[in-house]
């Protein structure tokens, strides 16, 4: 296979310069060497292997700027409950999964969502006891801010009626004050989480390759991954042995800061495939779990304004510690009060290098008065368009008229605030085309009316949010996110020109081929192109 290739007779959306669309692109090895029109007629490229794209549209490879990719990969062998309509279906699926387990394996999984069931029910430990056969069980909610556990898991973790609620977490109680089996936020379920062993080491790489192949099939060539400490050596070792297969920007949790300081792991640690890019911190919980920190209490509650998972004092402490390593922080903040708290801290934050971009993750509901602060601080708004259609009913239920301040993509872009897009995998599927559709149309399946249609954005803006914007957010806009000479040859061939078709057809666009490092890593079955 020749290293030098010329792709011609295509529509290459390079996303830069005066001529944003060209018809040909040359690559040598892992890099793009030239883009332009009629390069197949240029003598400089006569020795290149030639690929006729037959008019197909080509864009930079997608990067999902908010995933839990390691967790997603390692959980591929667990029970998946997203999309089920009732507690009965959910328990039946858990029971079916348990029947296939061996030894004393934990029952693990994710995706249950009482708000999306036909009948709203908060599950408890005893329901889970009936279908888990005495095994310990721990299952995340769809938003992963609640863990549903059974009696055996509570026993092993030492959680009882005498256990107080930890700072930043809530243990739901039964009438006798015993834990109900619902643990809200990491501080509450951390004692259980510490006991759960991941898949056997012999299975881990297989699960990871499966996850990478899923990414390729969706046109994804890079992810920003917010994962536990186990992810660092896993990603690092694979990248050094050239087996990673993606460009992964890793944001370790704040709890790892002492380890990073001791190891002197600073901004930019890694290589072309794996890079430590910042520190992940939580400021609040989530909408579905009613733990997002808000200025107004949740309807129907006595005094629930959400959960402040970390105080401003702790947030600022972590921000300053990260700055010692030139690392920016990416702070999870969903409710308007949490976002305000983060901005308060960023106003006091020490300076870091210009390519170290501080972020707020999710930015689901923000006060209009805080938009100016977001812009003045040059903070990146890391948002997940697919949350918008998925959460419409929840936003209207819990935030009412304040929903006009939710998922305000167009307002952010109009104010020149840097916005980058992701999925929050596995909470929403790894599917940038679906994310583009959500940002452009803002509609749930089967619903005709857009959710605050004035916040819809263009296809070009949405594609940028999944390509060039993630590169900027990670300080790598000079080598990723565009189809330009010197940039990595990571690109996607689409079935349709996503920029020209009616917005109603965006979801029908398919990935024809995905290229990573200049090599085809995914091709749709039946593709007639020769490589």
DSSP 349: P
* Angle formed at CA 230 by CA 226 and CA 235, multiple of 5 degrees: 75
3-class SS of residue 48: coil
- CA nearest neighbour of 136 among 147, 121, 145: 147
Instruction: Tell me which residue has tokens 């090895």.
Output: 29
Q: Which residues pair with 32 in a beta bridge?
A: 27
- d(CA 170, CA 306) in angstroms, rounded, equals 10
Q: Which tokens is 145 given? A: 């801010």
- d(CA 498, CA 510) in angstroms, rounded, equals 10
* Angle formed at CA 290 by CA 286 and CA 293, multiple of 5 degrees: 65
Task: Give the mean model confidence (pLDDT) for residues 432-456.
Answer: 94
Measured CA to CA in angstroms, residue 439 lies from 149, 370, 444 at distances of: 35, 22, 11
- d(CA 317, CA 276) in angstroms, rounded, equals 20
CA atoms within 13 A on the CB side of 499: 15
Which of the pair, 200 or 288, is modelled with greater confidence?
A: 288
- pLDDT of 446 strictly over 90: no
Instruction: Tell me which residue has tokens 């029910």.
Output: 121
Q: What is the pLDDT of residue 354?
A: 96
- d(CA 366, CA 359) in angstroms, rounded, equals 14
Q: Which of 109-118, 349-358, 462-471, 491-500 has the lowest mean pLDDT?
A: 109-118
Taking the model in full, what pTM does it have? 0.90
Residue 513 contacts residue 474 (beta carbons within 8 Å): no
What percent of the chain is modeled with pLDDT above 70? Answer: 98
Residue 133 contacts residue 103 (beta carbons within 8 Å): no
Q: Which tokens is 183 given? A: 């643990």
**pLDDT band (50, 70, 90) for residue 201:** confident
**pLDDT band (50, 70, 90) for residue 16:** confident
* Angle formed at CA 245 by CA 514 and CA 464, multiple of 5 degrees: 50
Average pLDDT, the chain: 95
pLDDT digits (tens, 9 = 90+) for 374-423: 999 999 999 999 999 999 999 999 999 999 999 999 999 999 999 999 99
Longest CA–CA span in the chain (Å) reads 83
pLDDT digits (tens, 9 = 90+) for 19-59: 689 999 999 999 999 999 999 999 999 999 999 999 999 99
Task: Give the mean model confidence (pLDDT) for residues 514-523.
Answer: 97
Cα 159 to chain centroid, rounded: 31
pLDDT digits (tens, 9 = 90+) for 147-187: 999 999 999 999 999 999 999 999 999 999 999 999 999 99
What percent of the chain is modeled with pLDDT above 90? Answer: 91
DSSP 153: H
Measured CA to CA in angstroms, residue 318 lies from 65, 232, 252, 347 at distances of: 21, 19, 12, 14
Domains in the chain, start-ordered, CATH in brackets?
4-61+488-523 (2.30.40.10), 64-68+200-473 (3.20.20.140), 79-193 (3.10.310.70)
Q: What is the pLDDT of residue 528?
A: 60
CA atoms within 13 A on the CB side of 268: 8
Q: What is the pLDDT of residue 2?
A: 53
Give the list of residues 6+ apart from residue 212 with CB closer than 8 angstroms, or none.
Answer: 73, 245, 246
Task: Give the mean model confidence (pLDDT) for residues 486-499.
Answer: 98
Q: What is the DSSP string of 452-494?
A: TGGG---HHHHHHHTTHHHHHHTT-TTTSSS--TTSB--EEEE
- d(CA 160, CA 173) in angstroms, rounded, equals 10
Q: What is the pLDDT of residue 199?
A: 84
- d(CA 294, CA 305) in angstroms, rounded, equals 5
Q: What is the pLDDT of residue 1?
A: 42
Q: Which tokens is 526 given? A: 């039946």
Paired sense of beta strands 137-141 and 359-362, if any? unpaired
Q: What is the DSSP string of 358-398?
A: -EEEE--B--GGGHHHHHHTT-EEEE-TTHHHHHHHHHHHH
- CA nearest neighbour of 9 among 27, 19, 22: 22
Q: Locate all alpha helices (DSSP H) within 241-292, ordered by sequence.
A: 257-263
């Amino acid at each position: 296979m020749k290293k030098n290739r010329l792709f011609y007779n295509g529509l290459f959306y390079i996303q830069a310069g005066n001529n944003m669309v060209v018809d040909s692109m040359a690559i040598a090895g892992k890099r793009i060497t030239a883009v332009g029109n009629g390069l197949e007629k240029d003598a400089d490229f006569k020795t290149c292997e030639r690929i006729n794209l037959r008019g197909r549209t080509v864009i930079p490879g997608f990067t999902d700027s908010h995933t839990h990719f390691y967790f997603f990969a390692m959980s591929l062998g667990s029970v998946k409950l997203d999309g089920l309509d009732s507690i009965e279906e959910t328990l039946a699926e858990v029971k079916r999964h348990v029947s296939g387990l061996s030894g004393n394996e934990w029952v693990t999984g994710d995706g249950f969502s009482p708000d999306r069931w036909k009948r709203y029910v908060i599950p408890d430990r005893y329901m889970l006891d009936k279908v888990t056969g005495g095994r310990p069980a721990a299952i995340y909610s769809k938003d992963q801010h609640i863990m549903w556990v059974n009696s055996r898991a509570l026993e092993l973790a030492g959680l009882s009626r005498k256990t107080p609620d930890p700072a930043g977490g809530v243990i739901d109680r039964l009438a006798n004050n015993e834990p109900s089996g619902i643990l809200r936020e990491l501080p509450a379920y951390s004692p259980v989480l510490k006991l759960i062993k991941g898949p056997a080491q012999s299975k881990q790489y297989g699960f990871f390759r499966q996850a990478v192949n899923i990414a390729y099939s969706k046109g994804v060539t890079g992810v920003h991954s917010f994962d536990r400490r186990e992810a660092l050596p896993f990603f690092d070792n694979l990248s050094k042995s050239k087996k990673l297969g993606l460009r992964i920007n890793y944001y370790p949790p704040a709890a790892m800061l002492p380890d990073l300081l001791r190891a002197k792991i600073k901004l930019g640690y890694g290589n072309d495939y794996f890079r430590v890019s910042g520190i992940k911190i939580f400021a609040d919980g989530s909408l579905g779990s009613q733990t997002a920190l808000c200025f107004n209490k949740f309807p129907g509650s006595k005094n629930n304004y959400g959960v402040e998972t970390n105080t401003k004092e702790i947030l600022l402490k972590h921000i300053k510690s990260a700055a010692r390593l030139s690392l920016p922080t990416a702070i999870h903040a969903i409710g308007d009060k949490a976002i305000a708290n983060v901005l308060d801290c960023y106003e006091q934050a020490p300076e870091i290098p210009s390519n170290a971009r501080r972020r707020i993750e999710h930015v689901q509901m923000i006060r209009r008065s805080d938009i100016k602060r977001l812009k003045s601080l040059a903070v990146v708004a890391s948002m997940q368009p697919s949350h918008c259609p998925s959460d419409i009913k929840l936003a209207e239920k819990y935030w009412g008229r304040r929903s006009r301040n939710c998922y305000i993509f167009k307002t952010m872009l109009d104010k020149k605030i840097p916005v980058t897009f992701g999925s929050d995998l596995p909470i929403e599927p790894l599917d940038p085309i679906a994310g583009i559709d959500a940002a452009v149309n803002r509609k749930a399946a089967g619903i005709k009316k857009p959710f605050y249609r004035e916040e819809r954005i263009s296809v070009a803006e949405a594609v940028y949010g999944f390509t060039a914007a993630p590169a900027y957010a990670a300080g790598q806009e000079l080598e990723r996110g565009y189809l330009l000479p010197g940039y990595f040859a990571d690109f996607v061939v689409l079935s349709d020109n996503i920029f020209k078709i009616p917005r109603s057809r965006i979801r029908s666009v398919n990935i024809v081929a995905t290229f990573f490092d200049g090599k085809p890593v995914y091709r749709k079955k039946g593709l007639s192109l020769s490589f």
